[in-house]
């Protein structure tokens, strides 16, 4: 593919795809499980990747042919510190080894797709664009081998929805993935419908689908609900200028995930938009102490809030911290850098 032929709209779509990649009726939690193994799945589900790495290495030392342990090691290398390029590369090599030794084991292909998704987030835009086809093939293969995989089905649907048609995107294929589990996995189908509605900018429909989702103890589904809710709230926060609705969505998310940074960060953004910098600062400082804080440009927004308050010294410090953060989102870092330059 000749990347110079890609339109600005396509580039924006890829940017959305890269961001989506970073994003129940009481359901059988095994439906969203990645591992069948009772030793590995609880560690993955809890995000205990250091412990997962140790367990996987011990298992592989005892049995080099342990496919699930091989995939678990790849995921641990990928997610323990996604900003560490050496670990990401090691995770990629481990995933390749897993798929080569166990080509018919779905979780090996899932580990490969997850690692590639994280690597793409750290690549330049056009380099990442060239990898979309490979990523899609990995998710497709995972789903072929395990049609019940929640992660593969939802991630593939999101990929179809967010990349341009010239690169394999397809709303109709996303709809096929939803229809395929509408009866057997209704909550999986519902979260896919929420994303379909969001892609079509049918915000009321997306809000309705999210509201109908039942609480889940499974981390994969919680992450999808959080991601979709944050996406919708961002629309109301910026494009729709409906701060009351954005606040309501963040507050609903906060009730279900009080220990996660996403909703508190979002509320900080709402207060900033309402001209309430002190409350915004309190929310954003609190968000820094919560789970998942590194996923959000908190110091960038703290800089904005301190600047709105008139505290240039604190604003400078916050912007500088964000720019120095190796996990900083490039777009936010560029904005923070521009804001800091104006203060010097």
For 202-211, how does the pLDDT look when each residue is reduced to its tens digit (9 = 90+)?
A: 999 999 999 9
Residue-wise pLDDT for 289-332, tens only, equals 999 999 999 999 999 999 999 999 999 999 999 999 988 888 99
Q: With beta carbons less than 8 A apart as the criterion, state whether 162 and 199 touch.
A: yes
CA-to-CA separations, 323 to 53, 296, 303, 317, 340, in angstroms, rounded: 30, 13, 11, 10, 10
Quote the pTM value: 0.85
Task: State the average pLDDT over residues 85-97.
Answer: 96
3-state secondary structure of 260: strand
Q: Please tell me the distance from the alpha carbon of residue 184 to that of residue 32, in angstroms, as a whole number.
A: 13
Determine contact, residues 307/339, Cβ cutoff 8 Å. yes
Using CA of residue 333, residue 291, residue 40, residue 110, what is the dihedral sign?
A: negative
Rounded-to-integer distance, Cα 177 and Cα 173, Å: 6
């Amino acid at each position: 593919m000749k990347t110079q032929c890609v339109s600005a709209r396509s580039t924006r779509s890829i940017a959305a795809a890269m961001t989506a990649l970073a994003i129940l009726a009481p359901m059988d939690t095994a439906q969203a499980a990645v591992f069948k193994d009772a030793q590995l799945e609880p560690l993955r589900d809890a995000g205990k990747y250091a412990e997962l790495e140790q367990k996987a290495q011990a298992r592989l030392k005892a049995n080099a042919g342990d496919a699930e342990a091989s995939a678990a090691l790849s995921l641990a290398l990928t997610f323990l510190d996604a900003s560490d390029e050496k670990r990401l590369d090691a995770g990629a090599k481990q995933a390749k080894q897993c798929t080569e030794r166990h080509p018919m084991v779905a979780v090996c292909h899932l580990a490969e797709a997850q690692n590639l998704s994280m690597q793409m987030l750290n690549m330049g835009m056009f380099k990442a664009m060239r990898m979309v086809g490979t990523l899609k093939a990995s998710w497709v293969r995972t789903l072929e081998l395990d049609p019940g995989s929640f992660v593969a089905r939802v991630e593939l649907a999101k990929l179809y929805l967010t990349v341009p048609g010239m690169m394999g995107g397809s709303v109709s294929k996303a709809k096929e993935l939803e229809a395929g589990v509408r009866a057997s996995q209704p909550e999986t189908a519902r979260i896919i419908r929420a994303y379909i509605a969001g892609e079509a900018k049918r915000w009321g429909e997306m809000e309705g689908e999210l509201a109908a989702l039942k609480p889940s103890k499974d981390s994969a589904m919680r992450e999808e609900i959080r991601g979709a809710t944050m996406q919708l709230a961002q629309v109301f926060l910026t494009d729709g200028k409906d701060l009351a609705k954005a606040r309501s969505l963040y507050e609903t998310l906060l009730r279900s995930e009080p220990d996660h940074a996403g909703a508190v960060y979002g509320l900080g953004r709402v207060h900033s938009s309402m001209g309430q910098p002190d409350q915004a600062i309190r929310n954003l400082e609190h968000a820094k102490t919560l789970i998942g804080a590194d996923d959000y440009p908190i110091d960038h927004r703290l800089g904005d809030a301190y600047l709105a308050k008139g505290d240039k010294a604190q604003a400078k410090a916050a912007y500088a911290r964000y720019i120095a953060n190796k996990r900083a989102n490039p777009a936010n870092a560029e904005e923070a850098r521009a804001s800091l330059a104006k203060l010097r």
